[in-house]
């Protein structure tokens, strides 16, 4: 079950507008802004994060974020963990800590306008091992895909509800890379451009993307609390991200029944083509509420155990010929060093910053008359799409 975070916030905005299936006016002046809280505390020893934003009307493109709020997580033994505001409504704990099985936790929020919110007391879910993350190539909806699957098993039968997130990191290899670059020696007549050895590595880069989907499964109807071959991520074999070496870090969260049901409700809203006519929505209530008054809030404070596993695979592990198409089309061209009007198209290209040197033009012709073949920067410089610094976890 998947729901993107962008669609989730949009869905929440719709929910705040919908109270019945009668005709509803969409005048944004009638819109009521509601706080949206995203927070999951886990048993991983790390700095944890809380996100605060607001629902937004249909005539806006995205949410506003709550800044300078006071955010704390407190346990039942009077331990208080404070959070500092970063960017875009993100709050990160001042210290690293891990949720303990014998503690109860509550999230506390105070906005700059004095409004206060708190969650219900919440305990850590049971810990379940993430046994395996693997990749298979299979046909799905008339397309060959790489499917990332997970296996998990809880012999106690206490888990039952699971949520997944992933971080994918992929290798980018510039298809028209050169160890040389064009250097302008003279930008006035007589023009001169030389090729010189590069001083930085821009052939192989790495990019990381974080999932923005809600991915859930459950084992309540099964004889065992066992997750088998559950697909967490699907990628077309023609996706550029899998063209060389690909890695995915899968995170498995054990949810409470309440947290699972809350996100399932959001999923039901998102699956309906017309929320206004098909659902008598009312207001979707989580486990966070205003301390005083009737200020509405959307969100669920989860305290979940988490397990992580990383997987690597190469395109060549499965497909021996060819590569997926690159991010952009690459068409080398050879502009003149000097044209009949006395200007230099080659130097103009170099100065634009949009093109880079590929190689010496050994076969000049009417369509490629210049001394050097030049390509779009994205085709010869991988830093257009990623970082040339190899991640610390990367294994070649």
Q: Is residue 300 part of a domain?
A: yes
Residues 36 and 218: their CA atoms lie apart, in Å, by: 25
Over residues 263-307, the pLDDT tens digits come to: 988 777 655 443 333 333 456 778 999 999 888 888 999 999 999
- Residue 269 is predicted with a pLDDT of 65
More confident position, 317 or 6: 317
H or E element in which residue 85 lies? strand 80-85
Q: Is residue 395 part of a domain?
A: no
Q: Is residue 369 part of a domain?
A: yes
Residues 151 and 220: their CA atoms lie apart, in Å, by: 16
DSSP string, 224-291: SSEEEEEEEEEEETT-GGGSSEEEEEEEEEEPPHHHHHHHHHHHHHHH-S-HHHH--------SEEES
The model's pTM is 0.86
More confident position, 112 or 4: 112
Q: Is residue 98 part of a domain?
A: yes
- Residue 30 is predicted with a pLDDT of 58
| Total domain count, the chain | 2
148 neighbors 242 (Cβ within 8 angstroms): no
Residues 306 and 253: their CA atoms lie apart, in Å, by: 5
- Residue 270 is predicted with a pLDDT of 57
Contacts of 135 (CB under 8 A, 6+ apart): 146, 147, 148, 149, 311, 313
Does 55 share its domain with 109? Answer: yes
128 neighbors 153 (Cβ within 8 angstroms): yes
Residues 43 and 26: their CA atoms lie apart, in Å, by: 43
Rounded to an integer, the average pLDDT of 187-192 is 94
Q: Is residue 136 part of a domain?
A: no
Q: Is residue 144 part of a domain?
A: no
Does 276 share its domain with 331? Answer: no
Over residues 132-161, the pLDDT tens digits come to: 999 999 998 889 999 999 999 999 999 999
Over residues 296-344, the pLDDT tens digits come to: 888 999 999 999 999 999 999 999 999 999 999 999 999 999 999 999 9
Residues 225 and 155: their CA atoms lie apart, in Å, by: 7
Q: Is residue 270 part of a domain?
A: yes
Tell whether the model's pLDDT for residue 389 goes beyond 90: yes
Over residues 354-385, the pLDDT tens digits come to: 999 999 999 999 999 999 999 999 999 999 99
Q: Is residue 65 part of a domain?
A: yes
**CA torsion through residues 269, 275, 281, 287, sign:** positive
Does 116 share its domain with 79? Answer: yes
- Residue 31 is predicted with a pLDDT of 64
Q: How confident is the model at residue 13 (pLDDT cuts 50, 70, 90)?
A: very low
Does 200 share its domain with 260? Answer: no
Over residues 54-72, the pLDDT tens digits come to: 987 766 777 889 999 999 9
Residues 220 and 160: their CA atoms lie apart, in Å, by: 6
Range(s) of the domain holding residue 179: 174-204+326-384
Of the candidates 58, 64, 7, the residue with the CA atom closest to the CA atom of residue 35: 64
**CA torsion through residues 96, 98, 104, 109, sign:** positive
Rounded to an integer, the average pLDDT of 233-245 is 97
Own/partner long-range contacts of 93-96 (Cβ < 8 Å, ≥24 apart): 93/47, 93/48, 93/49, 94/47, 95/47, 96/45, 96/46, 96/47
Residues 245 and 173: their CA atoms lie apart, in Å, by: 10
Rounded to an integer, the average pLDDT of 28-37 is 74
Residues 381 and 387: their CA atoms lie apart, in Å, by: 10
% of the chain residues with pLDDT over 70: 88
Does 289 share its domain with 349? Answer: no
Task: From 270, 304, 338, give the residue that closes a domain.
Answer: 304
Does 18 share its domain with 100? Answer: yes
Residues 170 and 289: their CA atoms lie apart, in Å, by: 41
Does 61 share its domain with 98? Answer: yes
Residues 389 and 383: their CA atoms lie apart, in Å, by: 10
Tell whether the model's pLDDT for residue 17 goes beyond 60: no
Task: From 238, 271, 304, give the residue that closes a domain.
Answer: 304
């Amino acid at each position: 079950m998947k729901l993107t975070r962008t669609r989730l916030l949009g869905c929440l905005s719709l929910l705040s507008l919908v109270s019945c299936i009668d005709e509803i006016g969409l005048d944004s002046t009638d819109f009521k802004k509601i706080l949206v809280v995203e927070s999951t505390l886990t048993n991983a020893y790390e700095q944890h994060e809380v996100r605060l934003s607001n629902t937004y009307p249909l005539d806006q493109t995205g949410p506003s974020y709550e800044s300078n709020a006071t955010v704390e997580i407190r346990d039942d033994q009077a331990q208080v963990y404070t959070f500092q505001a970063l960017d875009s409504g993100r709050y990160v704990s001042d210290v690293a800590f891990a949720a303990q099985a014998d503690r109860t936790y509550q999230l506390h929020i105070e906005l700059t306008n004095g409004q206060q919110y708190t969650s219900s007391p919440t305990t850590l879910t049971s810990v379940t091992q993430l046994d395996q993350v693997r990749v298979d190539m299979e046909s799905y909806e008339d397309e060959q895909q790489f499917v990332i699957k997970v296996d998990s098993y809880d012999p106690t039968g206490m888990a039952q509800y699971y949520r997944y997130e992933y971080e994918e990191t992929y290798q980018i290899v510039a298809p028209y890379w050169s160890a040389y670059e064009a250097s302008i020696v003279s930008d006035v007549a007589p023009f001169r451009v030389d090729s010189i050895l590069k001083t930085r590595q821009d052939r192989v880069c790495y990019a990381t993307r974080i999932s923005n989907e809600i991915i859930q499964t459950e084992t309540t109807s099964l004889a065992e609390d066992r997750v088998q071959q559950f697909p967490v991520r699907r990628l077309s074999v023609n996706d550029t991200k899998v063209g060389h070496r690909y890695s995915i870090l899968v995170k498995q969260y054990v949810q409470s029944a309440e947290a699972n049901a809350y996100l399932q409700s959001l999923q039901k809203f998102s699956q309906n083509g017309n929320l206004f006519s098909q659902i008598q929505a009312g207001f979707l209530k989580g486990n966070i509420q205003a301390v005083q008054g009737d200020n509405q809030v959307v969100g669920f404070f989860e305290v979940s155990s988490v397990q992580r596993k990383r997987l690597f695979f190469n395109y060549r592990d499965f497909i021996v010929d060819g590569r997926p198409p690159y991010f952009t089309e690459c068409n080398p061209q050879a502009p003149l060093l000097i044209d009949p009007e006395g200007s230099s198209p080659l130097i103009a290209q170099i100065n634009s910053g949009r093109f880079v040197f590929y190689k010496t033009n050994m076969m000049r012709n009417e369509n490629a008359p210049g001394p050097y073949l030049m390509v779009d920067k994205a085709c010869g410089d991988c830093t257009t799409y990623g970082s040339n610094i190899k991640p610390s976890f990367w294994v070649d």
